[in-house]
Amino acid sequence: MYMQILKPRFLFILLGVLLLISLASLYYRYMVLNNYEIYLADQEEEENI
Amino acid sequence: MTPLEQVTADTLQCLWEAPHFLFFSTEVEPLVVYSHLFPGIVALIFSLVLLFKREKDLEVYLLISLSFLFSLFALIDLRLWALLDPNEIMFLWSLLNYIEPLIYLITAYLVLHYAFRRSIPTWIEYIFGLSYLPIIIFGPTKLNLIAYDYSNCDRLAVEGALLNYVYSLEIFLIVLTVLSAFFTLKKTTDSKGSKATIFLVIGSILFLTALSSGNIFGTLFQESLGEESWKFGQYGLFGMPIFLGAIIYIIVKFNAFNTKLLGAQALVLTLSALVGSLILIAQSTATRIVSGFTLFFVVVFGIFLIRSVKKEVKLREQIEELVVTLDSANEKLKVLDKMKSEFVSIASHQLRSPLTSVRGYASMLAEGSYGKLTAKAQEVAERIADSAKYMALSVEDYLNVSRIEAGNMKYEYSDFSLKDIAEKIVDELRPVGMKKGLVMVFRSDCDAGCMVHADIGKTRQVIMNLIDNSMKYTPKGTITVVAHDDVKKKKMYITIQDTGVGMSKGTQSEVFEKFVRAKNANNVNVTGTGLGLFVAKKMLDDMKGKVTAESEGEGMGSTFTIEFPLLG
């Protein structure tokens, strides 16, 4: 019964769930929060948006 | 003004035209559009075609997800070229860094799965799964993309350390694919399977290296070349059609991946994608119209082609199925026939011995060996002896048939005069014929001694059988037996001519077949088995002789001719 957890199938399912969470947070970060740095041209400085 | 508004305003200063229809912008070069659209559409169509196939196993699902992910990759990348919104650029660019290693992992897994004949060791599956974990964990962080580079109008993101991991993983997977395929090929003995594996490995290596070389080049030279560094990588996407070509070739030629795909289908779909993407990048209306017409004809003729090829394939499959069924039915029939022959042989043997004693005792009774019988009892005893004799002959016929069919008939060859044998038989049968009121005539016309090389006992049996046959079917008249030779042709003949019931043309052709009797046979002789002539023909065939039957028609008598190679 516990050996089921060691099967690659279980690993792949786990990875699939983690991937979905990861993609959702990616979307949230860039498309909703717009939380990333930008390198600006003239001032040569970084700003947080 | 907030920083975001500042950026957006500044972006507008770069004078980029907003994209229309998701992918198109006058800022994007037609060649870039083409290098993305064509492989992207081909891959998408391929994944859809596979998706609608009825039978699917793991390898087919891997192919479907691989081509779908690639198509997604190509289309997202194309949109990135046309976009100007930094938020979406950052999101889609990060997303590409998820998709790209996934394409590598699936391709490598597919090759290994195929090369290992569907039994990949568990530890390799763990390596595959766990190697993707860092991308999942660090994908949404600054390690993926550090920042949006707004120092110029190139609209590029600054890539982080995760990309180094991604590229290392990609190179590792390419090496792993080559190595494992190499070792599997060394072990395998199935030449067809190895050829398919070679095609698959070469196709995937070309695909993967083309894809990564462009991206690695882009990353390495972004600082010095800016947007230009990424343009070089776009042509790496053409690795996909090459890879799909290899896959389709393997499917069509080697029936790989348990899917039935026709070469015609693949050809038509690729051509349509090719012409379709030409329409999309065409600059002038005239080119668009020409491409549109071409696409229309490609699709219409393609559908006809696919339909006819499908029909042909179906027909071929049906024929192949029939052949298999016929083969097994034939085998069964052979076994049944052998069993039948064995049964007849055993049964006949069992019948023969009691018959001999019935015949013997009946004859002795009739001859008065057990005291004088009354006239009536005498007649009965003779009838018993006659019937037993007839039955013994029938049993002998059955035995001969089963021996012939089982290939157990043995022949003892010697040189002898066919004329002498025939003459003796006619002399033996003459009293029986006379009893029936028949005239038995024998003539000979031999120039070279009438010698033949055959089994004397069997030859005697055949001639006896034929003359006996003529006597049975001749109620009255003459039976003429002639022995003659033809020195030029080196043949020896015995002709048995009667004035009996004769036979129709139809009967003549089948009278030597098993259990066949002339239609009018029952009028004169009800006791025939239909085996005598069959046995005679088989025996003569075995001894390199021949027998033919001729008749002018029913009621016109028959002529049987036996032919042997003449000796001397």
Q: Which of B126, B133, B140 sits opposite A29 (nearest CB)?
A: B140
Task: Check: pTM over 0.80? Answer yes or no.
Answer: no
Best to test chain B binding among A19, A38, A48 (most B CBs inside 10 Å) = A38
pLDDT along chain B (568 residues), means of 10: 59 69 80 83 86 80 90 91 87 93 91 79 88 94 87 82 91 86 73 75 82 75 73 71 78 66 74 81 80 88 86 89 95 89 79 86 88 87 87 82 80 89 90 88 84 90 89 88 88 91 82 74 65 87 90 87 87
Q: Mark out the alpha helices in chain A (DSSP H runs).
A: 8-27
Q: Which two tokens stand for residue A24?
A: 């959702």
Q: From B2, which residue of chain A is nearest by alpha-carbon distance?
A: A49
Spatial separation of the C-alpha atoms in residues B128 and B137, rounded to whole Å: 15
Spatial separation of the C-alpha atoms in residues B468 and B429, rounded to whole Å: 8
Q: If DSSP codes are grouped into helix, strand and coil, which group holds residue B97?
A: helix
Spatial separation of the C-alpha atoms in residues B560 and B377, rounded to whole Å: 40
Residue with tokens 């040569």: A44
What is the per-residue pLDDT for B94? 93
Other CB atoms within a 10 A radius of the CB of residue A5 amount to: 9
Q: Residue B98 and residue A19: Cβ atoms within 8 Å?
A: yes
- Which residues of A are less than 8 Å from B131 in CB distance? none
- Which residues of A are less than 8 Å from B142 in CB distance? 37
- Output DSSP code: residue B159: E
Tell me the shortest Cα–Cα distance from A29 to chain B, in angstroms: 8
Best to test chain A binding among B4, B8, B87 (most A CBs inside 10 Å) = B87
- Which residues of A are less than 8 Å from B4 in CB distance? 34, 49
Going along B369-476, which residue ranges are E strands?
413-417, 438-445, 451-455
What is the per-residue pLDDT for B137? 94
User: CB-based contacts of B561: which residues, under 8 Å, 6+ apart?
Assistant: B493, B494, B495, B496, B547, B548, B550
Q: Residue A15 and residue B149: Cβ atoms within 8 Å?
A: no
Tell me the shortest Cα–Cα distance from A1 to chain B, in angstroms: 18
Q: Residue B133 and residue A18: Cβ atoms within 8 Å?
A: yes
Q: Residue A36 and residue B136: Cβ atoms within 8 Å?
A: no
Q: From B5, which residue of chain A is nearest by alpha-carbon distance?
A: A49
With a cut of 50, say whether residue A44 has pLDDT above it: no
Q: Residue A18 and residue B126: Cβ atoms within 8 Å?
A: no
- Which residues of A are less than 8 Å from B158 in CB distance? 39
Q: Which two tokens stand for residue A2?
A: 């516990």
**Cα dihedral B421, B427, B428, B429 sign:** positive
Q: If DSSP codes are grouped into helix, strand and coil, which group holds residue B442?
A: strand
Identify the bridge partners of residue B476 per DSSP, sorted by sequence position.
none
Q: Mark out the alpha helices in B188-227 (DSSP H runs).
A: 191-225
Best to test chain B binding among A32, A39, A47 (most B CBs inside 10 Å) = A39
Enumerate chain A positions whose Cβ falls within 8 A of a Cβ in B: 8, 11-12, 15, 18-19, 22-23, 25-27, 29-31, 34, 36-41, 44, 46-49
Q: Which two tokens stand for residue B552?
A: 């002018």
Q: Residue A41 and residue B129: Cβ atoms within 8 Å?
A: no
What is the per-residue pLDDT for B99? 94
Spatial separation of the C-alpha atoms in residues B350 and B398, rounded to whole Å: 12
Residue with tokens 């059988």: B465
Tell me the shortest Cα–Cα distance from A2 to chain B, in angstroms: 17
The shares of helix, strand and coil residues in chain B, as percent rounded to the nearest 5, are 70, 10, 20
- Output DSSP code: residue A32: I
User: Which string of DSSP letters, residue by residue, matches B521-550?
Assistant: HHHH-S---S-HHHHHHHHHHHTT-EEEEE
Q: Which two tokens stand for residue B85?
A: 């919104």
Q: From A25, which residue of chain B is nearest by alpha-carbon distance?
A: B140
Best to test chain B binding among A23, A26, A29 (most B CBs inside 10 Å) = A26
Spatial separation of the C-alpha atoms in residues B28 and B257, rounded to whole Å: 38
How many angstroms from the chain centroid is the CA of residue B14?
Answer: 65
- Which residues of A are less than 8 Å from B148 in CB distance? 36-39
Spatial separation of the C-alpha atoms in residues B448 and B418, rounded to whole Å: 11
- Which residues of A are less than 8 Å from B87 in CB distance? 30-31, 34
Other CB atoms within a 10 A radius of the CB of residue B50 amount to: 22
Enumerate chain B positions whose Cβ falls within 8 A of a Cβ in A: 2-4, 7, 10, 86-88, 90-91, 94-95, 98, 122, 125-126, 129-130, 132-133, 136-137, 139-140, 142, 145-152, 158
Q: Residue B151 and residue A41: Cβ atoms within 8 Å?
A: yes
Q: Which of B126, B142, B158 sits opposite A8 (nearest CB)?
A: B126
